[in-house]
Amino acid sequence: MLIGVFVLGILVFIHELGHFLAAKLCKIPVITFSIGFGKKILYKKVGETTYQIAAIPFGGYCALEGENPKENDRIPENSFERHPIWQRALVAFAGPFFNIITAYLFLVLMFMNGVPYAPYLDTNAVGFVAQESPAYGKIERGDKIISVNGKKVSNWQEIQERFSDLSKEHTVALKRGNDTLSVSLNISLPDPKSLESKGSGIYPPIPAVVGAVEQSSVAKAAGLLAGDSVISINNAEIYCWQMVSETIGKYNDSLGEISITVARGGEIIDIPVVPRYSGEHKRYLIGIVMANPNVSIKRYTFAKSLKLAYKDCLKYSVLIFDTLKKLLTLVVSPQYLSGPVGIMQMSGAAAKSGLSSLLQLLALIGINLGILNLMPLVITDGGVLSLLLAEAIMRKPISLKIREKLTVVFTTAFLCLAVFVTFADIMRFDAIEKLLK
């Protein structure tokens, strides 16, 4: 949780710093620069500005002279309201802009620091299709997926990203031999509380390598060793680990002894095994565990990192608008939204996973914060920009009475949404914890 508070604090600081620097540049008096809301814990006044850290860490603000005047208030000559429209727009825009530009820099640092690279994912070929899945009978092992929902894919990272966009139906274009096919998959959305999902049922070709052999297992007695690569079972070629698991799981007593062919140190060895039924797992097992696929850390040059970070910024931005569209059209339930509690939980897990994971999360939340703050919702920076645009068109400010009423409406709606997403985060706290592990 402490790491989560720190992450939120960084992003809020960046956002408010944008407003602060723009206001100082335009010589608009800054009364308070605060990280957090509520009672101030630490503070120091320098010139006209009080810099403070407040008790409630969920947010912050940069209070400007005369920024939110009330009806009949005397507006000071050098206040926010008295400055030209372009200067007020600059101050409003600077907060979200700082979030977006620093998110880009976080991604540049992430790629330079290094990101996990799994060679087995560097393909668009299907390694396995699970039975009783949406893809079974439509997609086959060896098919090459070329696009999902009209968006081209070249590797499994891109495929998994396309399938995780909370769409109920996915159109998949694939190559099968010399033929190009198009199939439609109806994939059930994750349960909003447990976050459990059956998924598409298609998997990458995870190498069929034995990672460990359990003591007192039939595999141990038969002579299987960690590091063995499974080539075939009963002369049926094995292409990935999932095929090993499913083939052994479908065993029945009438088959008797099965032959597992493995590659070991340049040798090809046939090992006879009789699977044993497990009452606990309710299936046949032999007592082997998959080896963790080979994953290395890939670092990029500064120039390459600039390009990759730009692509990721675009990808995350498109994802935000796509999600908003699905929420507004009720394709996706608001129960999937996450607030400060969920963010803090994910921040802690990202920090444990390493610097690159934390930088990626900072970037993702920063882009979300920047883009959502540009939405024209009155209480957001985008709302301020919208009112300034209306003022420029009408050549006079929107009346304070109208602005006050709009602020009350949108503030109430925002607080209701905040309570809703916080409650949703708390309800699935354990589910998020399991997922992150």
Contact residues for 288 (Cβ-Cβ < 8 A; gap 6+): 210, 211, 212, 213, 214, 217, 219, 224, 244
Instruction: Name the pTM for this structure.
Output: 0.76
> Which pLDDT does position 229 carry in this prediction?
93
- Rounded to whole angstroms, the Cα distance separating 174 from 164 reads 18
Our answer to whether residue 433 is catalytic in this structure is no
- Over the stretch 266-305, which tens digit does the pLDDT of each residue have? 899 999 999 988 888 788 899 999 988 888 899 999 999 9
Query: 120-203: which CATH architecture?
Result: Roll (2.30)
Query: Is 44 exposed, middle or buried, given 0-12, 13-18 or 19+ CB atoms closer than 10 A?
Result: exposed
Q: Taking the domains of the chain in order of start, what are their residue ranges?
A: 2-114+335-436, 120-203, 210-292
Backbone angles phi, psi at 432, to 5 degrees: -65, -40
* Domains 120-203 and 210-292 are alike in CATH topology: yes
Q: pLDDT (tens digit, 0 to 9) for every residue of the chain, 437 residues total?
A: 566 667 777 888 899 999 999 999 999 999 999 888 788 898 899 888 999 988 877 667 888 887 766 655 666 777 888 899 999 999 999 999 999 999 999 999 999 999 988 888 888 999 888 877 888 889 988 899 999 988 899 999 888 888 877 777 889 999 998 899 999 988 776 655 555 666 778 888 888 899 999 998 999 999 999 999 999 999 888 888 888 888 888 888 878 888 999 999 889 999 999 998 888 878 889 999 998 888 889 999 999 999 999 999 998 888 888 777 777 776 666 655 555 555 555 555 555 667 888 898 889 888 988 988 888 876 788 888 988 898 899 888 777 677 777 777 776 766 666 665 555 555 554 544 444 44
- Over the stretch 133-172, which tens digit does the pLDDT of each residue have? 888 889 988 899 999 988 899 999 888 888 877 777 889 9
What topology does CATH give the domain 210-292?
Pdz3 Domain (2.30.42)
- Over the stretch 165-210, which tens digit does the pLDDT of each residue have? 777 788 999 999 889 999 998 877 665 555 566 677 888 888 889 9
Q: Are 285 and 214 in contact (CB under 8 A)?
A: no
